[in-house]
Structure 1
Amino acid sequence: MDGINQSSKPMGPVVRTSTPKALVSLIRNPLDALPPAIFSEPIVFSKMGGDVKIYIADPALIHEALVKNADALGKGEQVRRALGPALGQGLLTADGAHWKWQRQSAASAFRHDKLLDLQPAMISAAEATRDRWLEMPSGKVDVGHEMMRTTFDIIVETMMSGGHGIDVGKVEKSISDFLGPTGWTFAFSVVGAPEWMPYPGRRKSRSAVTFLRSSLAGVIADRRKSGEDRHDLVSMLLAAVDPETGRTMSDEEIVDNLMTFITAGHETTALGLAWTFDLLARHPECKERVISEIDAVTAGAPLASEHIAKLTYTRQVFSEAMRLYPPAPVITRTAMQDFRLGGFHIPAGTVMYVPIYAVHHHRSIWKNPEAFDPERFTTENTKQRHRYAYMPFGAGPRVCIGSAFAMMEAVAVLSVLLKTFHLSSTTATPPTPVMKVTLRPKQRLLMHVEKRHA
């Protein structure tokens, strides 16, 4: 089939997709464009127009593709068109040697000892949110918005030493304005439409990108002028030197990477937290167990850095929330050269999807996959699963550099807020997940907040 063939094993299901119907799904919610068979089959070939696309859900095949054949794969045109205007050639979008040296330059900021030093800032940001909730006249909050604000405060404080007056509210709105029309950019890239094609939200998205990048450029200019080393990500990127060529990063390249950490870093953790609060509200027995653990570990004292690693069930709850609602629900790769995958010959140019959302809901991988069950993430149960059955932070060499940062941050925020408040749902049915690069609730996630009584 268009160069993809296999002689020794049966081919996976072939899905022939109506182009207009698929485009509507991509624009409204790309999750709906996933072939239904990928929730039960290991691999699915989808033919739309003249192009064949591959969807992989089998953990062993995912490992073979993203790890063993990592050098044969690139991010591809779809990712460039959707994210390139904002993220340039940063860690999330770059390929090859340019990606590799940027990854090496940023890696030291995410060493375990460095992350431990950042925990007080994580706790402080969560406490600021707690104090803000205590002062609210109304007992209802938009948890999605509140978590975006909290995690943005953490990113700015830990990665940019405070950010020097960045307008937090405008930045958050700008990120939403940029991500909002990405369904259109994905859809247009799938059919090869020219990049100048207009679509709803395009002008607002471009304006948002201009504001975001100029705000970060101001931070970098101030830091270069002062010459101060604050031992944060900005200082590390300013001092980074490519070991092979000796070159340093331009201001534009530093903006690319700060944009990547701000949009990908704070957005994904914020969404994971919002989904977690909603799930706990709908599963009171799990919520009470989390609260009991927090109370036992902290023994009535405020949350401190040394408590975070001991909150194992709280961590399991966040992990299970990211299984049901993976913040980055689809990985896209393009074959840069011919290679073999599970016996199939994959020609250069083939677009490959690893639909993490489908993997996390796959009927052959997970027992009762739609159920919320934090016990899936005990140490014993985790050891029994294939490493690539669960990928909230991606997989292979390009696994999210900030995964450990995100887990510490999430446990800190959950613990500070659940120690003080009971949160309950305002709707009987769970919100619908919608993919806008990240996995967002379709409706605002409003929750009742009530102070716990000691």
Structure 2
Amino acid sequence: MEQRTTTKDAAGEQRHVQAEQAPGPVGSVLFGALSSFKKDTLRLLTELQRQYGGVARMKMGPYLVHQVTEPEAVKQVLQDNARNYVRGRFYRGFNLFFGRGMLTTDGAEWRTRRAVSRPFFHRAGLRARSGTVTDTVEELLARWEPSARSGDPVDITDDMMWLAMGVLGRMLFGVDLRRYADRLLPAVRFSLKAMILTGEVKQLLPRWVPTAYQRRLKGHQQVLNDVMDEIIDLHRRGEGSPDSVVSALLKATHEVTGEPFNQRQIRAELKTLFLAGHETTGCALTWTLYAVAQHEDVRRRLDAELTEVLGGRVPTAEDVDDLPYLRAVVDESLRLYPPIWLFPRDAVADDRVGGYHISAGSTVIVPVYAAHHNPAVWDNPEAFDPERFCPAHAVRPTNSGDGSPDEIGSANGGGTGSGTADENGSGARSTPRQRDRYDYFPFGGGARKCIGMDLALLELRLAVAMVVQRYRLQLVAGRPVSPAALVSLRPQPGVLMHIRPAERKAPTA
């Protein structure tokens, strides 16, 4: 079936083109693919990509959803025509629980918020303060010493969240957020679960209905607000760091109105930064250590590189440049287990993407997980293989990037592989093809690429290096772990590890 689509050319002139509807599953008449999405989200998205190609179409309840994984189509949605693809219905739950922050806003409102926070994420400044990261990791390693002596297993998922909170608080918030951990973490966990569409009656009822669930939810929301208000008030009294993002928000004015941010707006921004800054990084740390523990050959090679380059000392930001296998291990973990597994958008106007019609008002999802598990690009995509990102296999990045100074073979793009497409156009290939910039994008792309990318990568690389230097982690047997597509890609039911001392002296400064 063809649709007449109105688009704009490079000169901004409207033109009309004929575009076909994208292929996709039929699903049930009433609910479409919604049942499959709820039952096994990741499987549905990967199978949709493999069966129908880089642009697919499905119904999810009353909504029309297009899935985009073909690199040029992803580039169009996230970068070239990003203004046409805004945060819509998928973000309503986030707005409800965390307020309108940088993650959920568009236009001038988003630009104002990003401009305030951007100076705190400059790569040079982060590298200069990398000692804050290593100091916080040292505290984690000391926290593990009793477990290393006793042999009692540790759920590293909670500890990685604790570590990420510590780094985030010291680097951005001007306070040690871990002092609030007992209050914040349960409130965040409950709120994140509440944001996920489960179809349960208790979540479909209006918030004003006084159920026990709604009372619990309201209580957790009040905890989040209270903690953020305490941090704001602490800075108003001059007791917080003058170089923190909190202080910057207190001084900021809106791009259009010139008005200062009010308490509610500052609180929403801090809640957004807190969630994005500790949840995704904590998950990425957990998955990386989980993958290394599963692959003794990877651990040994990583250990050998760290010993050769560092001897026994604590790594610095500058050392990371001389640790290519460490970088490859982190990059491969972000491929296999991308914490930000989905970028949802709503189309403002009709468009044509990958040759297919996208109607105004429809939802477009960019599933990072499916793109990162595409067998047309990645040989044996379910395997953990850091060799994919080693310098010996790196080639020039393709020209479909976002204009940023991407590193070849790194978390920003580049890659390997070759092959030709089958004549049937299904997307299946006899061998993996050359990797494109938007075959691998754990931090998104375009102007809205994750603002915390450099901080996350620095923290991941330094923390993984220091853990491997000090300890050998072993998974508790008989406790399988699987990825759960929640707000982030969380390991379920958690990752229990035995903490064993490494066979060397502890690193020294």
Q: Same fold (TM over 0.5)?
A: yes
Rounded to whole Å, the distance in 1 between the matches of 2:128 and 2:192 is 32
Q: Secondary structure at the match of 1:78?
A: helix
Structure 2 counterpart of 1:256 = 268
Rounded to whole Å, the distance in 2 between the matches of 1:361 and 1:195 is 38
Alignment-mate amino acid for residue 45 of structure 2 = L
Instruction: Check whether the contact 2:368–2:441 (CA below 8 A) recurs between aligned residues.
Output: yes
Structure 1 counterpart of 2:245 = 233
Gaps of 5+ in 1: none
Alpha-carbon offset, residue 451 of structure 1: 0.4
Instruction: Check whether the contact 2:102–2:114 (CA below 8 A) recurs between aligned residues.
Output: yes
Structure 1 counterpart of 2:309 = 297
Structure 1 counterpart of 2:254 = 242
Gaps of 5+ in 2: 6-15, 396-408, 416-434, 505-509
Q: 1:148 aligns with which of 154, 161, 165?
A: 161
Alpha-carbon offset, residue 183 of structure 1: 2.5
Alpha-carbon offset, residue 374 of structure 1: 0.9
Alignment-mate amino acid for residue 60 of structure 1 = E
Q: 1:361 aligns with which of 369, 373, 387?
A: 373
Asked if 1:210 is matched to 2:260, the reply is: no
Instruction: Check whether the contact 2:174–2:240 (CA below 8 A) recurs between aligned residues.
Output: no
Q: Secondary structure at the match of 2:253?
A: coil
Change (3 A) 1:335 1:200: farther
More displaced stretch, 321-330 vs 246-255: 246-255
Q: RMSD of the alignment, in Å?
A: 2.8
Structure 2 counterpart of 1:348 = 360
Change (3 A) 1:177 1:26: farther
Asked if 1:119 is matched to 2:142, the reply is: no
Structure 2 counterpart of 1:71 = 83
Instruction: Check whether the contact 2:443–2:450 (CA below 8 A) recurs between aligned residues.
Output: yes
Structure 2 counterpart of 1:101 = 112
Instruction: Check whether the contact 1:320–1:372 (CA below 8 A) recurs between aligned residues.
Output: yes
For 1:416-427, what aligned pairs fall within 5 Å after superposition? 416-427=466-477
Q: 1:321 aligns with which of 333, 343, 347?
A: 333
Change (3 A) 1:49 1:276: closer
For 1:266-277, what aligned pairs fall within 5 Å after superposition? 266-277=278-289
Change (3 A) 1:217 1:30: farther
- Residue by residue over 1:76-117, the C-alpha shift from the partner in whole angstroms, topping out at 9 and shown as x without a partner, is 01212x211232110111122101111111111111122113
More displaced stretch, 37-46 vs 163-172: 163-172
Q: 1:14 aligns with which of 20, 24, 28?
A: 24
Alpha-carbon offset, residue 255 of structure 1: 1.5
Instruction: Check whether the contact 1:38–1:358 (CA below 8 A) recurs between aligned residues.
Output: yes
Change (3 A) 1:39 1:125: farther
Q: 1:84 aligns with which of 58, 74, 95?
A: 95
Alpha-carbon offset, residue 120 of structure 1: 0.9
Instruction: Check whether the contact 1:178–1:204 (CA below 8 A) recurs between aligned residues.
Output: no
Alpha-carbon offset, residue 37 of structure 1: 2.4
Instruction: Check whether the contact 2:58–2:65 (CA below 8 A) recurs between aligned residues.
Output: yes
Q: Secondary structure at the match of 1:109?
A: helix
Structure 2 counterpart of 1:333 = 345
Alpha-carbon offset, residue 351 of structure 1: 0.6
Change (3 A) 1:180 1:47: closer
Alignment-mate amino acid for residue 15 of structure 1 = P
Instruction: Check whether the contact 1:3–1:347 (CA below 8 A) recurs between aligned residues.
Output: no
Change (3 A) 1:130 1:45: same
Structure with bigger gyration radius: 2
Higher helix share: 1
Structure 1 counterpart of 2:485 = 435
Instruction: Check whether the contact 1:16–1:48 (CA below 8 A) recurs between aligned residues.
Output: no
Instruction: Check whether the contact 1:178–1:206 (CA below 8 A) recurs between aligned residues.
Output: no
Instruction: Check whether the contact 1:26–1:183 (CA below 8 A) recurs between aligned residues.
Output: no
Asked if 1:378 is matched to 2:390, the reply is: yes
Rounded to whole Å, the distance in 2 between the matches of 1:442 and 1:432 is 5
Q: 2:42 aligns with which of 18, 27, 31?
A: 31
State how many pairs are aligned.
450
Alignment-mate amino acid for residue 55 of structure 1 = Q
Rounded to whole Å, the distance in 2 between the matches of 1:215 and 1:209 is 10
Rounded to whole Å, the distance in 1 between the matches of 2:2 and 2:89 is 20
Alpha-carbon offset, residue 300 of structure 1: 1.6
